[in-house]
Structure 1
């Protein structure tokens, strides 16, 4: 049987949450955790599956940690340790950097295009195959797993978007059914929901409910740094901004280096260029806009009622705790 949004399957160290179909609200705010939004306008949203940020943090921070350890051993004249750790660093970080460089040099694939007026998704594969999938037939799944090792347990997860092939649109879905899919790793649970909510909110609410694309193509690195510095100063103050964004943050993560790579990689974002896709991407008159199915309309209404009831219950509990605390303070003053 086809799984629906809200269904959860769990095992000993794994869990699988179904977010769609039907694409009902998750209760989480839309957040482009991985920078997947490549292009957005009033008609469609382009989603790309390549994220450079996570890999950059892992590779750069790992290199910095290994280098710091080797320098420490050099200072203390532990030359055998220097040789051993240098070999380990070259082996481990060489493998990670090789994978990162291969992913960076790989040409960008055509984006997934979500047309909110048609309520459809246009898929263009790197091989040139194209087809359209109804929005309410898109499956969004948030798998997560707990990895247990000698240093404890770590939870990992991602977001899986699954689309039926063009000749199997109406066939029921199951976990072993072949289809066209992309898998990204924003993180487990809430992080995956927030990334999915970017797509769902665009289709069901509108463009204003979705963050703007991260656009660094036409900016110099100095302009990017000044803009981020200004925003950080407004939120965190001058001292913390200087301490983190200019000092510790630059040493640990080197965001300027990442921005340079991002600017070079996304200098030209691929578009859908076939005549069929160009015609499909055009806006429609308002009277021709596709509507929600009755099933989705009812599911969204039910979900919103449940969220409102949960928010009201949480508010009541908060007020009750405040009242109890006030009574305790009053009783304490009386005893004194």
Structure 2
């Protein structure tokens, strides 16, 4: 990333043409809506805060570590093990059937075991393919953990109103002012060869030490509202009182599996129980559902995926150097950094604008005269919910 953000098919200049919160910039195939600098809310905050977020690694009254938790790692391992377990069972069934048919054909005692052993010994290609598939799956499991460990979480210091990040693969921390962070949601269309698909991205650009460029974090999201929520997790922590903060999601451990199994069993015992109602997410509703639930976990080696998830959590939790640990310490209230007068003025005006039914994009449009694009309509729909 040098001087411009590439989102979709066209560069969006961040240095030569600094963005403003609420600004919508069009590019070939899509748009970019900026949430910051001068971080502004994207919607009215609902009562009770934002709920849980699996992107919060650690959080207290002083700082928030934003990154990627181990949620989903157990499922990744389960997919790998399930595919290979089904493959092995399928081949064993084929070998057993072939040995049975050959044994009956010749009618000689002991021919079944002879043919079974011969098939398993001679079909080395099949066993090699299954082993190769297993290795590929576990390579993906380890590689994603390794990649995550190479990028430390971004630390947001609430009291200092500063951000600490590590450039990709670097061991040198960089600290930047919070209000200078650029955040956005970008949309663009892609062509798969058969259909046109819409893609969304959440991104942040944090100034480099010389102030001439930006370090960029980009994260694909399913919906524009997901990018909006990701931003609000960070912004609410830095700008809003504690009752509006998101809560960290519990990390995946073997205890997660034990609790889930216990809950399913309790609900199954209480009933009602059905014979033909099967739902992967609520297996306790039926007998086949519970049989499938236990069979799935047996084929995926029971607690193994959750042991791997625990390992992922420990391996990727890189420690910070003493200088950053000192920087992360709480400050006396009289030393807390305060929002800029410009930000306070914009927030007050935006809250009044939103109370009247407006949005961040229409607020910018009213103040800067920019044309509102399609992306701002997505935000407006989400904000009105």
Superposition TM-score, scaled by structure 1 size: 0.67
Alignment partner of 1:16 is 2:64: no
For the pair 1:271 / 2:319, whether they are aligned, the reply is yes
State the aligned residue count. 286
CA RMSD of aligned residues (A): 4.4
Correspondence 1:285-304 to 2 at 5 A: 285-304=332-351
**Counterparts of 2:31 and 2:77, CA distance in 1:** 25
Q: Return the offset for 1:187.
A: 2.7
Task: Single out whichever of 286-295 and 125-134 deviates more from structure 2.
Answer: 125-134
Cα offsets for 1:66-102 (capped at 9, x unmatched): x79xx7xx99xxxxxxxxxxxxx99999878744431
* CA shift in 2, pair 1:191/1:222, >3 Å: closer
Point out where structure 1 has 5 or more consecutive residues left out of the alignment.
76-88, 172-177, 312-336
Cα 1:141/1:91, change in 2 over 3 Å: farther
Q: Say if 2:254 and 2:307, in contact at 8 Å, map to a contact too.
A: no
Aligned partners of 1:21 and 1:138 also within 8 Å? yes
Matches within 5 A, 1:249-264: 259-264=306-311
Contact 1:32–1:195, Cα closer than 8 Å, also in 2 = no
User: What is the rounded CA distance, in whole Å, between the counterparts of 1:155 and 1:260 in structure 2?
Assistant: 36
Q: Could you tell me which residue of structure 1 aligns to residue 236 of structure 2?
A: 201
Larger RCO: 1 or 2 (CA < 8 Å, sep 6+): 2
TM-score normalised by the chain length of structure 2: 0.59
Shift of 1:132: 1.2
Equivalent residue runs for 1:229-240 within 5 Å: 240=282
- The aligned residue for residue 281 of structure 1 is 328
Kindly indicate whether residue 164 of structure 2 is the aligned counterpart of residue 122 of structure 1. yes
Distance 1:166 1:187 in 2: 32
How far off is 1:14 after superposition?
A: 2.0
Compared CA separation, residues 52 and 217, structure 1 to 2 (3 A): closer
1:187 aligned onto 2:187: no
Please give the per-residue CA displacement for 1:208-247, whole angstroms capped at 9, x wherever unaligned: 42333233377634444258759x97xxx98746249967
The question of whether the paired residues in 2 share the 8 Å contact of 1:217 and 1:267 is answered with: no
CA distance 1:60–1:219, shift in 2 (3 Å): closer
